[in-house]
């Protein structure tokens, strides 16, 4: 087995690694020098913690396109953000439109509502690149539609979906537009206001370079009163009342926040903003192009959604004639030190569309800001060696 020093990490779509030094320093500073909770006390370090949380809200709002910071809600993870959005918005008997490109963090809550709450669900197909036609999504919207849920970027093919005009179709019938931006934030510019989103969900630990255990849900403030909070409890606000606070973000943040994780998220976003999202996106796009070209040249390797004219993030999926995905991923790690993801990637519908479901999915390489040309070449060389059988 290769040692730690020869590690090639290509699983950034699952969680980013390595983390910028500033992220680790922010966590260490909070844990070692502060340790106070947010929103609970008036002593100096508690106030320092509250300022830290507010600063991170502003940074998150900035990376979401300059939205209102009051609408930024901190959750346990991206799945928690999506659950809060879906369960908080839907009512029994509603109609929902979603897509075949979605992650199970969207599909499974919606299936719960379909099975147990008489919600009607339309799943709009994607093409062979994992791209969803916004016109087909708009056409699926009915007067009874309550929610339109769409991923900003596929975690299987890396394809970025076009969202223009979708909000208008949703808002004409009073529906909410929920965007799952977990695979896009930090990897490409995103503007929640420009795309007309009412809800945007993301994860701290992926492209935003934070740690596991924190998610972000942006809620359009003028619609916040329509969301039913999933949790009730202490908030440090109006403690005499048996009802949760009405205002955001406290309305949706019962209980103590994960302050070490929020400190890490703030530092991660600062790192991204200092270097420029566009510049980092160009870096990943160049490496993705190099990787696709190298892999496509290997006999017995089949790259999905590698078209250079499509907007993408740094995710590349492929299959091999001589190895099943899980076998290939295991061998890449054991013999070449290449760490990647294999399987259905919690997105079964898109694999059915791509024709990879029955083989157990794909092998996925996913890039980040610290991925290098050397990493790409080592990974491609390893795949070429494996393809020999």
192-251 pLDDT, tens digit each: 999 999 999 999 999 999 999 999 999 999 999 999 998 877 666 666 567 777 788 989
Segments of the chain assigned to CATH 3.40.640.10: 21-274
Q: Residue 146's Cα: distance from chain center in Å?
A: 22
- Interstrand relation of 199-203 and 215-219 (parallel, antiparallel or unpaired): antiparallel
Q: What DSSP string describes 309-338?
A: TS-B-SEEEEEESSS-HHHHHHHHHHHH-E
The H or E element that residue 288 is part of is helix 277-296
Is 128 a residue whose pLDDT tops 90?
Answer: no
CATH architecture of the region 4-18+277-386: Alpha-Beta Complex (3.90)
Segments of the chain assigned to CATH 3.90.1150.10: 4-18+277-386
Please tell me the class of the 21-274 domain. Answer: alpha beta
Strand partners, 363: 318, 342
**Least trusted range by pLDDT, from 11-15, 80-84, 229-233, 266-270:** 229-233
250-300 pLDDT, tens digit each: 899 988 999 999 999 999 999 999 999 999 999 999 999 999 999 999 999
């Amino acid at each position: 087995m290769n040692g730690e020093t020869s590690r090639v990490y290509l699983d950034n779509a699952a969680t980013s690694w390595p983390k910028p030094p500033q992220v680790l320093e922010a966590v260490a500073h909070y844990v070692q020098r502060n340790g106070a909770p947010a929103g609970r006390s008036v002593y100096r370090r508690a106030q320092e913690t509250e300022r830290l949380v507010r600063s991170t809200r502003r940074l998150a709002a900035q990376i979401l396109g300059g939205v209102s910071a009051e609408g930024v809600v901190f959750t346990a993870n991206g799945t928690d953000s999506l659950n809060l959005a879906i369960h908080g918005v839907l009512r029994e008997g509603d109609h929902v439109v979603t897509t075949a490109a979605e992650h199970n963090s969207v599909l499974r809550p919606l299936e719960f509502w379909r099975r147990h709450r008489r919600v009607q669900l339309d799943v709009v197909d994607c093409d062979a690149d994992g791209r969803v036609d916004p016109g087909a999504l708009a056409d699926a919207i009915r007067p009874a539609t309550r929610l339109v849920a769409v991923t900003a970027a596929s975690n299987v093919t890396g394809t970025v979906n076009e969202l223009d005009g979708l909000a208008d179709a949703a808002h004409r019938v009073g529906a909410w537009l929920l965007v799952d931006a977990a695979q896009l934030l930090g990897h490409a510019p995103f503007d929640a206001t420009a795309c007309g989103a009412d809800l945007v969900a993301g994860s701290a630990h992926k492209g935003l370079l934070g740690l596991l255990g924190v998610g972000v849900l942006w809620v359009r403030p003028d619609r916040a009163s329509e969301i039913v909070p999933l949790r009730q409890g202490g908030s440090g606000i109006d403690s005499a009342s048996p009802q949760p606070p009405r205002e955001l973000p406290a309305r949706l943040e019962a209980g103590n926040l994960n302050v070490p994780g929020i400190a890490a998220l703030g530092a991660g976003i600062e790192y991204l903003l200092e270097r420029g999202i566009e510049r980092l996106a160009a870096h990943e796009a160049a490496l993705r192009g190099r990787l696709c070209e190298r892999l496509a040249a290997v006999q017995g390797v089949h790259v999905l959604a590698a078209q250079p004219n499509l907007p993408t993030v740094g995710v590349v999926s492929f299959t091999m004639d001589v190895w099943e995905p899980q076998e290939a991923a295991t061998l890449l790690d054991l013999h070449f030190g290449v760490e990647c993801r294999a399987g259905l990637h919690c997105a079964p519908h898109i694999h059915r569309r791509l024709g990879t479901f029955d083989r157990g999915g794909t092998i996925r390489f996913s890039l980040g800001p610290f991925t290098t040309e050397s990493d790409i070449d080592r990974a491609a060389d390893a795949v070429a060696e494996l393809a020999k059988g």
